[in-house]
Amino acid sequence: MARRVVFLRSKSVGGVEPRLDRAARALADAGHEVHAILWDREATRAETETRGRYTVHRVRFRAPYNRPSLAWKLPGWWRRAFRLLRTIRPDVVHAADWDTIPPAMRARDAWGAKVVFDIWDYYAQMITARIPRFVRSALARREAFAIRDADLVIVPDLARKPPFRWEPRRVIEIVNVPEERAFTPEPHEGFRVFYGGNLSKDRGLQYLIPACERAGARLVVAGQGPDEGELIAQVRRSASAEYLGYLPHDQVLRHAAAADAIPLLYDPSVPINRLASPNKLYEAMMLRKPVLVSEGILIADLVRDEQFGIVVPYGDTERLVDAMKGMIAAPDMGAAMGARGRAVYESRYRWEVMRERLVEAYSRL
């Protein structure tokens, strides 16, 4: 049965994130009427936008990213999001992360909307700012209630999820994998490393820059984030690195396709990083690129077991240098790792499998 579905997402960085766009198009192609309500925290984008077979509605309400002061803005976002929900009156609210759950549950109470809780990140663990322990515990409890009460829970990795406090009514795994894309890599000289994503100090860029300098590698950086001022300045001071600015996802993939290695250097001391299942990993696998991954995060087990990258201790510049020098000295080694990653992608992580799983789950709501 066709439903009216609204995705809720508390961000609108770069327009519409690929993960949301894939899911929205999959449901629209299956015959559902699909909308997305996004929080435009810069208040710079159009209030409404038609993207193929679904419609985007933006709440233009200024607020920071990754700052404790965001907490004061959340009630305003929830009120505005619910007003739009009340206008659209969906059959299903697809809530991406806990900070979209309050308006979704209010829609359930008001007119019986079904609630899909799509956990991109575990919210209490995701917050890297210093907050009182009781606040973090309260957030974890509220998230647990949402998992218990939602009609459907979606997680990015069942094998690596933390234990649920209460079992959900139904849970499925939708891995954050890319759609199949073919790119012809642009030729380049030397060994190139591409970092495209969040410019945050817990992603290891500050260690990658000097490591590339010492290894003789070229580092290409794109993205934005909470520590962009300091990190971009460090990139620009380096003769071995360049900063391209914030790029659309299609261009990010093109630069990744032209790279010789993709870094995923998450700081394992940040709890949410230990459970991360980043799309950059699956994009690298799709594109046949070896990865550089931090020890102590759970994706390191996959990389080590399937041998499609090199695992190094977080912050260990020496080991990063050695890893890159090894791939520079033996290009066939990097190519072989990339081929193994591609084989794993084809056997386990194709988007077509995830799309069918999502559409089938909606048919049972």
4-176+350-363 and 191-348: same fold?
yes
Task: Yes or no: say if 4 and 32 are a contact pair by the CB < 8 Å rule.
Answer: yes
When the pLDDT of each residue in the chain is averaged and rounded to a whole number, the result is 93
- The pTM of the full predicted model, rounded to 2 decimals, is 0.87
Per-residue pLDDT of 144-170, as tens digits, reads 999 999 999 999 888 666 667 788 999
For the segment 335-339, the average pLDDT, to the nearest whole number, is 98
Q: Which of 193, 175, 10, 179 is nearest to 97 (CA)?
A: 10
238-247 burial, b if ≥16 CB within 10 A, otherwise e?
Answer: eebbebeeeb
Beta bridge partners of 287: none
Q: Which range (69-83, 130-144, 340-354) has the least confidence?
A: 130-144
DSSP string covering 144-182, please?
HHHHHH-SEEEES-GGGPPPPSS--S-EEE----PPP--
| Vertex 24: Cα angle to 21 and 30 (nearest 5) | 140
Confidence of residue 128 (pLDDT cuts 50, 70, 90): low
User: Has residue 50 got a pLDDT over 90?
Assistant: yes
> Could you tell me which residues come within 8 angstroms of residue 14 by beta carbon, excluding any fewer than 6 positions away?
246, 248, 249
Burial 266-299, CB ≥16 within 10 A → b, else e: bbbebebbbbbbbbbbbbbbbbbbbbbbbeebbb
Q: At 122, is the pLDDT very low, low, confident or very high (cuts 50, 70, 90)?
A: confident
d(CA 85, CA 95): 12
Least confident of 95-109, 123-137, 211-225, 330-344: 123-137
- CB neighbourhood size of 230 (10 A): 13
Radius of gyration of the chain (CA): 21
Q: What is the mean pLDDT of residues 12-26?
A: 90
Structure tokens at 333: 């080694």
Assigned superfamily of 4-176+350-363 = Glycogen Phosphorylase B; (3.40.50.2000)
pLDDT recorded at residue 94: 99
User: What residues does each domain of the chain span?
Assistant: 4-176+350-363, 191-348
Q: Which CATH class is domain 191-348?
A: alpha beta
pLDDT value at position 276? Answer: 84
pLDDT tens per residue, range 272-323:
898 888 899 999 999 999 999 999 998 999 999 999 999 999 999 999 999 9
What percent of the chain shows pLDDT beyond 70? 97
Contact (CB, 8 A) for 223 and 243: no
Task: Give mean pLDDT, residues 244-248.
Answer: 94
Handedness of CA 94, 100, 102, 107 (dihedral sign): negative
Tell whether the model's pLDDT for residue 187 goes beyond 90: no
Amino acid at 203: R
CA distance 63 to 202: 22
| Confidence at 129, pLDDT banded by 50, 70, 90 | low
Out of 58-67, 169-178, 287-296, give the one with best mean pLDDT.
287-296
Q: What percent of the chain has pLDDT over 90?
A: 78
14 pLDDT higher than 90: no
> pLDDT category, 46, cuts 50, 70, 90?
very high
